[in-house]
Amino acid sequence: MTWLVTLEERIPPMAALMVSVVAISTSAILVRFSDAPSVVKALYRVVFTTLLLAPFAVTRYREDLRMLSARDALVAVVTGVALAAHFATWFESLEWTTVAASVTLVQSQPLFVALGAAVLLDETITRRMVGGILVAVAGIAFMSLGGFVSGAVLAGARPLYGNALALVGAVMAAGYVLAGRSLRQRVALVPYVTVVYSVCAVVLLGVALADGTTVALTAYPLEEWLLFVGMAVGPGIFGHTVINWALKYVESSVVSVTLLGEPVGSTLLALVFLAEIPDAFTVAGGAVVLAGIYVTATGRPGGA
């Protein structure tokens, strides 16, 4: 596997993060095209991502899987549960509160990551990084204002409940990033993500089976299955998996705030593929988000 180590050394981590953000940005478009229930989309996205990685885990990384300590395996399992909880709580929050409120709250996760990184991982968080994080989160909030002003979204049946779910989703996402940063210092990428995604898939399957509105898990046309595979290849492999690779080299707080570029990328893709024209709040907020990401990345100890 010397060639793989050499390849990793040649890839700039920040460049890889930019690729991952573009890949994750395709998720909203693929989800919009699909008519399956939200939990089913999340389930098959993770299932197919796992299936694509499993052959490598079993063949080339079998020894790494065997040498995975009980403690690291347990943390990876908990991380998979956290990822599933993030998906489940965030999707459910959209049923009870406004899209604007849900997106703003769930994208507050860099604040929790920065706090956890400083306390749990002993990462150095500079003042410039803190400022960049706050700017980026403010940009996300500003992007969401368009929905409130235009009245394009409903207030929600139970806004406090929905907002609480979105906040839980943010905390779970932060836990996922922090655990990844910790384990990726000593665990190879493929074994790590294989365990995390497998556990996430099992938990989402349980949620889908417990959901009274989800009657069938397999009765979908070919177009839907192709969309599920697309979600696995794009947001799954080139998105989350690349992010987990980058967590070995880049501080968790920087990775977390970089993910705030997803709504910006999704907005641009929606303009191209769905003819959705962003309002002034979205454009201005997106610019602020990108500025916050730049400030955070360049505020790292040692620079970008």
Q: Where are the domains positioned within the chain?
A: 30-298
pLDDT at 278: 75
pLDDT at 214: 54
Q: How far apart are CA 108 and CA 94, in angstroms?
A: 16
Q: How far apart are CA 236 and CA 5, in angstroms?
A: 22
259: phi then psi, degrees, rounded to nearest 5 = -65, -15
pLDDT of residue 169 exceeding 70, the answer is: yes
pLDDT at 101: 65
Q: How far apart are CA 6 and CA 50, in angstroms?
A: 25
Quick: pLDDT tens for 86-122. Answer: 888 887 776 777 655 666 677 778 888 887 887 777 7
pLDDT at 78: 92
pLDDT of residue 181 exceeding 50, the answer is: yes
Give the SS3 label for residue 269: helix
The answer to whether the beta carbons of residues 48 and 231 sit under 8 Å apart is yes
Q: How far apart are CA 264 and CA 56, in angstroms?
A: 33
